[in-house]
Structure 1
């Protein structure tokens, strides 16, 4: 029998042309061409010949194929069917996917296609990772009840209400995923835990915003011409959120329009969606200044790698001993639109990339009010630059 085994060598496996080659003992190599091929095991089970795939040559070496073949030949000698046995083992492995940590990771993988950037930013999984899994991750998901959930969330229920809410929502999705896997879980456990936790004492606080009348003075102080100053200037002038501003790329700008991809827009699951931002004369001047700092296509790069961080912009304002934060300039702009202009509600909300109108009216609307927004953003730039409407010359960046 020994002479009938191990007929092939690793060199033969690599160099063999298209065809079938026996290694002995029912192990075969089939090659479509010189660079690709696969292993299969031919056995006789209860008088019937069966062929069992063992994977490609790219996934396993000759030795690994022989070890796998030997394992399944032993099943045949014991009177079993290796193909059915392998399927049984796979089902058992699936059933063993029972710890909360494993189910949570599996649920995350299943939902990635629905998440912005396939969830690479980590925001979907983070509430679970930080506040649930450290305590319950190694608990069988079928054993988790409302008491476990209450005790896990209670430390942040009154102090980090939004984070607690997200953690509970994610956990509910994980339990639903576990039920779909065939695991015996209590699908009402999260709602029961909410009832046990009671009403949160946490009061939501708005992000501090600078009064619109004070914005020109702050804008005039941003004269260094460095990445931080320029990024804050463009943030103020456009009213966009921090992420699209920080990740702005040269190719997104066409004339006096900046087109933001859907992947950088809050609440947009469709990566093909876009939002057009009209650029005022002042905004174009800031972008021209920023081109001096551009790296890898990004107008606002960080000192080391990637782009300037949200923390960097916020830290600058804290060091200036200001209560306001960068995101608050959106509120400054919205208040100015309400108090100093006759802008229709839909136009003003669209400037901030907010969804305006009912689902029905949005379905029939085919405009993004670009021209109306262009006029308003030019007026805003005039206000921000002191009312004169002149482009403020920025100083050269400090070294």
Structure 2
């Protein structure tokens, strides 16, 4: 009998279940008359191995023989054909530029312009939670408006703000991919928006306490705890929660609090810091806070780090209040507009907002 090419295409189809040699280490292993798999037995580095060459009859006898000969050629050159195939698969996967990988690279490149280098996760989380589980393993070049529509439609109306952020950041990822030289559809997110339609959800502003009720609430914060002191200073200064909760003693000089520019929302790429003059009452709060400071932070949490925004919010919630800490900025802005003659630019500056002009 011939040493190789023992089988014929017609004969292979009629063979019963079992192992059937074609020669040269190539075997047809059938589990039924109509189904089986091709296996090549090779010896590499003195060790015998079996290499799958595909399913029968999807892979024909001719194709199996071709694959077997390519593997034998590698063995003759001292190359393990199984490891070589695995390496090629890994290389091919890397060359695909999956959306998951492009998104991570895009996030990495934008960290410098995000508050705290994006460590809070707010920039990446809409993608990580709502997009990448469904589309992350797609090559970015294959992502189209239908994929995006199907991915975001479950939250388009129920979590409108999050869906909007996910769509916007996905658009940035596609631009990043284009900058890498990949052929992507830069209009995919705009087309997806057209398919998704107008959102029914209305954005609800964070509840704020009417400014006339603020003094009474302020007076009730009299326990001297980190939470009470933080809320008092939040009300007096009108800053956002993040810079206040992360207030460090090295940011205070005399009666001026200097907030690092990168900690101020709305000051993208800011190089200048934000200086806040402190009133006598604010200084008294700081004097008490210094006593409970930990690692230089004036408002530490009970366990580690600093107090969270949720801690202050829950305290207000326990009192049956709908208002939340961030709402005190709105209370301050209303007071400036209704009870003072402060110019618009001054009122906006009090809140750390960037107005029309550089001045």
Q: Is the CA contact 2:266–2:354 (under 8 Å) kept in the aligned structure 1?
A: no
Q: Is 1:307 matched with 2:306?
A: yes
Residue 92 of structure 1 and its aligned partner are, at CA, apart by 5.2
Equivalent runs, 1:57-136 vs 2, <5 Å: 96-136=95-135
- Alpha-carbon deviation of 1:185? 2.1
Residue 167 of structure 1 aligns to a residue in which SS? helix
1:199 CA displacement: 0.5
Root-mean-square deviation (CA, aligned residues, Å) is 2.5
SS in 2 for 1:258: strand
Task: List structure 1 segments (4+ residues) > 4 angstroms apart after TM superposition.
Answer: 91-95
Equivalent residue for 1:55?
none
Q: Are 2:265 and 1:258 aligned? A: no
Kindly report which structure 2 residues correspond to 1:315-326, keeping only aligned pairs within 5 A, or say none. 315-326=314-325
1:215 aligns with 2:214: yes
Q: TM-score w.r.t. structure 2 length?
A: 0.73
Matches within 5 A, 1:240-251: 240-251=239-250
Distance in 2 (CA, whole Å) between partners of 1:315 and 1:330 is: 18
Compare relative contact order (CA 8 Å, sep 6+) and give the higher one, 1 or 2. Answer: 1
Check the 8 A contact 1:261/1:271 in 2, yes or no.
no
**Alpha-carbon offset, residue 177 of structure 1:** 2.0
5 Å-filtered alignment, 1:321-336, equals 321-336=320-335
Q: Secondary structure at the match of 1:135?
A: helix
Q: Superposition pairs for residues 1-399 of structure 1, below 5 Å?
A: 96-270=95-269, 272-357=271-356, 361-362=357-358, 365=359
8 A contact 2:115–2:265 mirrored in 1: no
Query: In the superposition, relative to structure 1, how do residues 248 and 217 fare at CA in structure 2: closer, same or farther (>3 Å)?
Result: same
Match of 2:341, SS? Answer: coil
Whether the 8 Å contact between 2:292 and 2:298 is mirrored in structure 1 is yes
5+ residue gaps in structure 2? 1-73, 78-87
Q: Could you tell me how far apart the structure 1 residues matched to 2:338 and 2:117 are?
A: 40
> Following TM superposition, by how much is the alpha carbon of 1:242 offset from its aligned partner in structure 2, in angstroms?
0.3
Mean CA deviation greater in 269-278 or 196-205:
269-278
SS at match of 1:272: coil
- Offset at 1:262? 1.0
Kindly tell me the number of residue pairs found equivalent between the two proteins: 279
Q: Which one has the largest radius of gyration?
A: 2
Q: Is the 8 A contact 2:226 2:299 kept in 1?
A: yes
